[in-house]
Amino acid sequence: MNNKIIKHNLTAMTKLFTLLVLIVAGLFVFSVPAAGAGNTRYVDKDSKGGTCSDSNSGTISQPWCTISKANQTLSAGDTVYIRGGTYSEAIVPQTSGTSDTNMITYINYTGESPIISGINGYPISFNNKQYIKVKGITLKGNSRFAEISGSNNIVLDGNNFSDANFNTGYVSIFLYGGSHHNKIINNFIGNNSIGDIIRTSNGADYNLFENNTVVNGGHSCINIRSRYNIIRNNVFDNPLEKATEIAYQVSGSWDVMGVAEFNVLENNIIRNAGPTYNYNGLQLTAPKNIIRFNEFYNNIGSGIGLGTTGSGLGPGGNSVDPYADNNHIYHNTIYKNGILVSQTQWQISYGMSLTEYNHDGTKVTNNKIVNNLFYKNNPNYNNPNYYSSSCKSDPNCLTTYPINFNVGNHVYQIDVDRNVQGTGNYFGSDQELLGPNFSQNSNQNYLDPLFVDEANKNFKLTSGSPYIDKGEFLTKTVGSGNGNIVTVNDAMYFTDGFGLVEGDTIKIGNDIVKITAINYNNNQLTINNNITWSNSEGVSFPYSGSAPDIGAHEYQSTLGDTTPPAAPTGAREI
């Protein structure tokens, strides 16, 4: 045979062999699951995809029958699809995930709605677990909703929780025991006639509650008794009692105690608290929290009630006075609160009230209340038939400072004859809560904000609104300099996101920057870019025009924007 032919054939065979090796190797590589992908399992009690048995392998054609089998079997990276049907079993995983990309996931099968019902206790329970997600499950007719104890990086996403019957317990979704970095997002949660729908306590810090609709709670929709939580972009609607609460609880049983500080309540719709005058949209009896860009409306009590709950012992046995102190409440729209009050109930229902609930002498002090839009709160305030002169001297009558309306940065309609609720509360434009030192102008109480659609609760401002460019800077720079660490008069207006979300985007002078860290003790902001600044430059959220606007919505801006969703079924509109 010709040597050239032999050589050519050998070369061709070598190339073919190499190609076969590469193909086989490639098949092997692509047949191995990626790290963290885990196994995919199916629970199918009604045998939709194949006859179920807990002795099966858990594939779609050989599914398991029970959630209990999934609880016992799943490991880090595994996903179980739960097919449609009604299950009387709780989700109680026995193991944990290991990271955000290696979670254990319980999820509804696409297009189907599995229901968990009839559980006497928590139908979802995590005790000392990490990195587990539950998504797309309906839970109704159980005694409670979900328990997160001593756990972290738990995600409840897109579930429907309803109709807790409370055979046992008081809280529907309960985070406690040092649980941290958990996410309660995109859920409908509602309809329990007793207790709090959501509560954090006992060291449950650094948790995120976002994009939930929470309705009809016997005590409150959400009750925060811990630190560094972010509650944003939710609807809280509660005609049964308070809508939201942030409370500093220093006595009582372990399940109610908690130090509520450094929480952020932002971009929420908070409405319809009732059914009586003493139930507020927000009841705040804790220090050092940020309340901003919310809409408070149609609450029978005050839109925001700042109060005191009495002295006690805090962390380390130190004596504390749990009351609303050094909170920063700004850029909220507060509309038609203190409604439906009777002649004997007028004294604590307003746009905002400052109240001593237990008559022990503690005061509401040192709060910063700036750039909020108050409009049409407590329509009976100016009616002399709704005053109670005896209340002013009666020790059994709640001592309250009402705040109903503002124009620009000023606060109007303060009942200066009542007892002063502490000093140092800053209301913008250098006014303090000092009784008769308040400037008042009754002729401007009802200055129309010119909302886009007041009837349908669209509280964005139209071009002619008198509240455009009427706000003030939240704080100012201290000294001049350049770099990415800026000292300001008061850093407590802002957050770096606590590792849960991105830090605030703010405007320093003419520079728009993002906060990456905050030292609250030194009032220092660390930002993402180097800039140059002068002494006393204004610091605020980004705005258009010559100054920030008043209220929750900056005109022609999406920053801090909240578009009200449709009211949930059965909600009270007035």
Most confident of 210-224, 405-419, 460-474: 210-224
Beta bridge partners of 126: 148
pLDDT at 341: 52
Model pLDDT for residues 61-99, shown as the tens digit of each residue: 999 999 999 999 999 999 999 999 999 999 999 999 999
- Assigned domain for 205 exists: no
pLDDT value for 387 = 29
Higher pLDDT, 283 or 362: 283
% of the chain exceeding 70 in pLDDT: 71
The answer as to whether 357 is a domain residue is yes
Residue type, 179: S
- Shared domain for 449 and 328, answered yes or no, is yes
Higher pLDDT among residues 335 and 106, named by residue: 106
Whether pLDDT at 8 is above 60: no
Question: DSSP characters for 131-155?
Answer: EEEEES-EEESSS--EEEES-EEEE
Q: Looking at the structure, tell me whether residues 469 and 485 fall in a common domain.
A: no
Asked, for residue 53, whether it belongs to a domain, the answer is no
Which residues partner with 125 through β-bridges?
Answer: 147
Spatial separation of the C-alpha atoms in residues 387 and 406, rounded to whole Å: 21
Same domain for 362 and 470: yes
State the pLDDT confidence band at 383, using cuts at 50, 70 and 90: very low
Residue 434 pLDDT more than 70? Answer: no
Q: How far is CA 358 from the centre of its chain?
A: 28
Render pLDDT for 132-165 as a digit per residue (tens, 0 to 9).
999 999 999 999 999 999 999 999 999 999 998 8
Above 60 in pLDDT, residue 565?
A: no
Say if residue 458 is in the same domain as residue 448: yes
468 with 513, same domain? no
Is the per-residue pLDDT at 1 higher than 90? Answer: no
Mean pLDDT computed over 293-306? 92
Same domain as 457, residue 484: no
Count of structural domains within the chain: 2
Residue 533 lies in a domain: yes
CA distance 100 to 384: 60
pLDDT of residue 167: 55
Question: In terms of domains, do 424 and 509 share one?
Answer: no
Q: How confident is the model at residue 342 (pLDDT cuts 50, 70, 90)?
A: low
Residue 419 lies in a domain: yes
Within-domain flag for 345: yes
Structure tokens at 247: 């409370």
| Top-confidence residue, 6 or 501 | 501
- Whether 364 maps to a domain, the answer reads yes
In a shared domain, residues 344 and 485: no
Which strand (E) or helix (H) includes residue 476? strand 475-476
pLDDT number for residue 250 = 61
Supply the range of the domain harboring residue 315: 242-474+551-567
**350 and 468 share one domain:** yes
| Same domain? 468 vs 503 | no
241-281 pLDDT per residue, tens: 999 999 886 655 555 566 799 999 999 999 999 887 778 99
The H or E element that residue 79 is part of is strand 79-82
* Average pLDDT, integer, range 528-538: 97
Is there a single domain that holds both residue 407 and residue 484? no
- The pLDDT mean for the chain works out to 79
CA distance 179 to 440: 47
C-alpha pair distances (Å), 81 with each of 37, 57, 66 = 14, 14, 12
Which CA distances in Å does 115 have to 119, 125, 171, 178, 396?
Answer: 11, 16, 21, 30, 49
Is residue 506 located within the same domain as residue 394?
A: no
Which of 224, 225, 337 has the alpha carbon at shortest distance from 274? 337
DSSP 95-123: S---STTS-EEEEEPTT--EEE---SS-S
Question: Does 218 map to a domain?
Answer: no
